[in-house]
Chains A and B, each alone.
Chain A
């Protein structure tokens, strides 16, 4: 393409100057005149009946404006929280969740009252004075016990503890297993995780009394969802409800749902007739913000001794928590892509969503795909071990090799070259030398292990033809591109970044497509007041779907500018050449008009007959398919058998996300993504007391978020296989690192421990766990 092409260039982020100088605008930085502060009284019990709430002492406390409980909110909040839970057609229970508990609390952290005061210290003080009389009830914690017909119920009005039970059969699974020469079985856990964005949630609501107009500032990935549902529940039409989300300090899926606090803060502002601020503290966040994962897979694989994979059977048990998250059932997608990058004769999957008295789970970076990848990549290694084949060769033998590929469930992998990323990664880590080093070290009693992950990911959510029947939503995306009279460009989009660098990368796309200077393009997002309706940012969709919506608007603008140029040059449209924002008649590039000149003309008089003034366009993009990034990660670890400690020697990744808009940003997304997967593999785990349902990891002291010292260098490389799904040829990269990495680490650890006869290791592979396994193996 043209030498000025910005697409593909490493451009420093335009987001950064304000962020590195302390001038970001995060939720806690929003302050309004006369603003009151809200603190939430939360249930200390996992399951209890509320006998009574005594607010008198709190009401009398210094600086208190109001103390409110369920009864106070009922006249104002008219709908439960949204759940897009149509993913599973089979048996399903979708209980309504209201913003505040009335007579029964079903997870520790559920709100029972709110206190509003003049400042946050006073609000927290008074919250301590609210006296709630609880009658504790049994907590349902264990997934398998919860499924039993005689299990106590998570909530007394439910029929049982099953949220869904869905079967996904594809092909003749019995025939595949009948053909098997080896069958390997394994139970594989996916521990609960805190998504832990560094910025907790929070919101500021400003309900204008007697006017039914609301501005709600909130830290969210989905401003338009929040407006749709919170406005709907409070009876405020979209036209009078503005949601603003400026800088968002990370989300990782945990800021996708319209949250009950957004309902409560808005209703509270209405009740107290003042702006109200609520900021979640970290301890509160660990209880009140959705968790991720929380699953168990029971898996069986049928294969031949030559390494041919035949059949895959598995059941996903998923801990929904007390209520469905907004997208909890999306994680059933693990069933549909559980076959990974391989050919299978048949797959038979089942997903059971189970309620427990815990905080709800919802998507966390990857949402169903890390789980699927972890499962299939673990099983492939177990088969390789069983038949004594190199894990790389077994993968290569079974890879899907031609594209587009329709998988067992009818999903179409758009493009790929799996052997290429595998080869590249093996070359980059020098696999042969590494195996030799492994052998040498073993002879010295040192345990090096090498782990592969050859993943494929479904992202770019998503084509309405698939998402509407499955989830009840058409996950399209939107844009508005407006060229101002002197040529600067405002682009408004329905997506919303929380670290993904959209202001930079989207501007790169627009500058190239319109042929205007990069600095003249401004990207707006996060404010429903000046952006078209969009579904927000998650599922690695913002570029493949949102970026394409921007392209569509740019094309419309170019089309109109071409008409304007034809008119100006008194030529026919077909004769107009467009080159980097310059419009001229074929053969006469010396006499050209810039898009700025055409824009200026477009707002004036003397337009072509029938043409309206202005140079702008609105577009919605509905992708024809998902996009399918892939790659190969190889991790080398050394395990110290005396301590069970794991040190990561090398981490090599070769990823393919199609065409790249900004390589610096893509690498950054991979770094962060890989780190989160490594962290799941080695460190993180949300623990509850299995009897009482009390959280045991309720602060950052107890929940291990790694520091720099725990993270290795990441050796990145990529191949580029453009996506045929969209004109940009792009896929997605926000989640790929996390999807790939946990199992690269775990496979490396199990490989290291093979001499002890250890075949499988659960996450997190903490030193105490490994030390006990090694000790037991030695005994």
Chain B
């Protein structure tokens, strides 16, 4: 009853036999062993499972693995390149955009997609762009800040504050 699927995940091709009912998120976590994509609801509300399919942000709990057949999937594990964090990852770190970190992979993927679509979003555009993601820890304040800061970094602009923060995690910086 299984079906063959061939996906390119984070640049690597995989061939598997899966049950038609297997959700993409379970495929990624349990078949491909990529546990960075999380599950926090069963009603497509939380966005913790967000990945990119052919470059577009998708809630991987709302897609069957077989529907992703032949597509390119990017998960949180594939966002950093050659040991360099993606600017959105870097910004979440610098701006304290995460606490428990459970919602974070989904937020980072959704934010990366948002910035690709809209390189310098307003507060309102960020709020709209990330309305499919829930965080219970941060009150969203620093997530909003992180997205702005990533936008600045990606557009090449650096402000003094964020430049100061880059580098050693241990470097104390004035509050």
The answer to whether A499 and B127 touch across the interface, beta carbons within 8 angstroms, is: no
Residues of chain A contacted by B103 (CB below 8 angstroms):
198, 249
Residue in A29, A198, A664 whose beta carbon sits within 8 Å of that of B135 in the complex:
A198
0 or 1 for each of A578-594: is its CB under 8 Å from B? (1 = yes)? 00000000000000000
**Known contacts A250-B137, A664-B96, A711-B139; A700 and B38 CB within 8 A of each other:** no
The answer to whether A708 and B143 touch across the interface, beta carbons within 8 angstroms, is: yes
Residues of chain B contacted by A676 (CB below 8 angstroms):
136, 139
The answer to whether A11 and B169 touch across the interface, beta carbons within 8 angstroms, is: yes
Q: What CA separation (Å) do A673 and B138 show in the bound complex? A: 8
Q: Is the interface of A mostly helix, strand, loop or mixed?
A: loop
The answer to whether A13 and B96 touch across the interface, beta carbons within 8 angstroms, is: yes
Q: What is the CB-to-nearest-CB distance from A266 to chain B, in angstroms, rounded to a whole number?
A: 23
The answer to whether A499 and B100 touch across the interface, beta carbons within 8 angstroms, is: yes
The answer to whether B38 and A199 touch across the interface, beta carbons within 8 angstroms, is: yes
- Supply 11 further A-B pairs (C-beta < 8 A) apart from A11-B170, A672-B138, A708-B130: A11-B169, A21-B85, A22-B76, A197-B136, A198-B136, A249-B101, A282-B40, A669-B99, A672-B99, A700-B43, A709-B127
The answer to whether A282 and B42 touch across the interface, beta carbons within 8 angstroms, is: yes
**Known contacts A121-B21, A247-B100, A668-B142; A701 and B130 CB within 8 A of each other:** no
The answer to whether B37 and A22 touch across the interface, beta carbons within 8 angstroms, is: yes
Q: Is B126 an interface residue (CB 8 A)?
A: yes
Tally of contact residues, A, Cβ under 8 A? 65
Interface centre among B21, B135, B140 (most CB of A within 10 A): B140
Residue in A13, A672, A705 whose beta carbon sits within 8 Å of that of B134 in the complex:
A705
The answer to whether B165 and A252 touch across the interface, beta carbons within 8 angstroms, is: no
Residues of chain A contacted by B80 (CB below 8 angstroms):
21
Residues of chain A contacted by B173 (CB below 8 angstroms):
9-11
**Known contacts A11-B172, A23-B36, A674-B139; A250 and B98 CB within 8 A of each other:** no
0 or 1 for each of A184-228: is its CB under 8 Å from B? (1 = yes)? 000000000000111110000000000000000000000000000
Q: What CA separation (Å) do A516 and B158 show in the bound complex? A: 33
Residues of B that sit less than 8 Å from A by CB: 19, 21-22, 29-30, 34-43, 45-46, 48, 75-77, 79-80, 85, 89, 92-94, 96, 98-105, 108, 126-128, 130-144, 165, 169-175
Residue in A8, A199, A282, A283 whose beta carbon sits within 8 Å of that of B102 in the complex:
A199
Q: Which residue of B lies closest to A5 (CB)?
A: B172
Q: Which residue of A lies closest to B170 (CB)?
A: A518
Q: Is A24 an interface residue (CB 8 A)?
A: yes
**Known contacts A21-B79, A250-B136, A671-B141; A12 and B169 CB within 8 A of each other:** yes
**Known contacts A22-B34, A28-B29; A10 and B101 CB within 8 A of each other:** no
A sample of 6 inter-chain contacts (CB < 8 A) reads A9-B175, A15-B101, A247-B101, A249-B101, A250-B102, A282-B41
Q: Is A498 an interface residue (CB 8 A)?
A: yes
The answer to whether A17 and B36 touch across the interface, beta carbons within 8 angstroms, is: no
Q: Is A461 an interface residue (CB 8 A)?
A: no
**Known contacts A10-B174, A14-B169, A21-B89; A707 and B76 CB within 8 A of each other:** no
The answer to whether A250 and B37 touch across the interface, beta carbons within 8 angstroms, is: no
Q: What CA separation (Å) do A499 and B131 show in the bound complex? A: 22
The answer to whether A668 and B76 touch across the interface, beta carbons within 8 angstroms, is: no
Residues of chain B contacted by A737 (CB below 8 angstroms):
139
Residues of chain B contacted by A10 (CB below 8 angstroms):
172-175
Among A257-306, those with CB < 8 Å from B are 281-283
Residues of chain A contacted by B144 (CB below 8 angstroms):
708
Residue in A17, A22, A673 whose beta carbon sits within 8 Å of that of B105 in the complex:
A22
Q: What is the CB-to-nearest-CB distance from A193 to chain B, in angstroms, rounded to a whole number?
A: 12
0 or 1 for each of A487-507: is its CB under 8 Å from B? (1 = yes)? 000000000001111000000
**Known contacts A198-B40, A247-B100; A22 and B140 CB within 8 A of each other:** no
Q: Is A26 an interface residue (CB 8 A)?
A: yes
The answer to whether B101 and A19 touch across the interface, beta carbons within 8 angstroms, is: yes
Q: Which residue of A lies closest to B173 (CB)?
A: A10
Residues of chain A contacted by B136 (CB below 8 angstroms):
196-198, 250, 252, 672, 676, 705
Residues of chain B contacted by A708 (CB below 8 angstroms):
126-127, 130-131, 133, 135, 140, 143-144
Q: What CA separation (Å) do A29 and B75 show in the bound complex? A: 15
Q: Which residue of B lies closest to A497 (CB)?
A: B100
**Known contacts A671-B141, A711-B140, A714-B141; A198 and B102 CB within 8 A of each other:** yes
Q: Which residue of B lies closest to A119 (CB)?
A: B30
**Known contacts A28-B29, A198-B40, A700-B41; A20 and B101 CB within 8 A of each other:** yes
Q: Is A663 an interface residue (CB 8 A)?
A: yes
Q: What CA separation (Å) do A663 and B128 show in the bound complex? A: 29
Residues of chain A contacted by B35 (CB below 8 angstroms):
22, 26, 28-29
Residues of chain A contacted by B96 (CB below 8 angstroms):
12-13, 664-665, 667-668
Among A1-39, those with CB < 8 Å from B are 6, 8-17, 19-24, 26, 28-29, 31
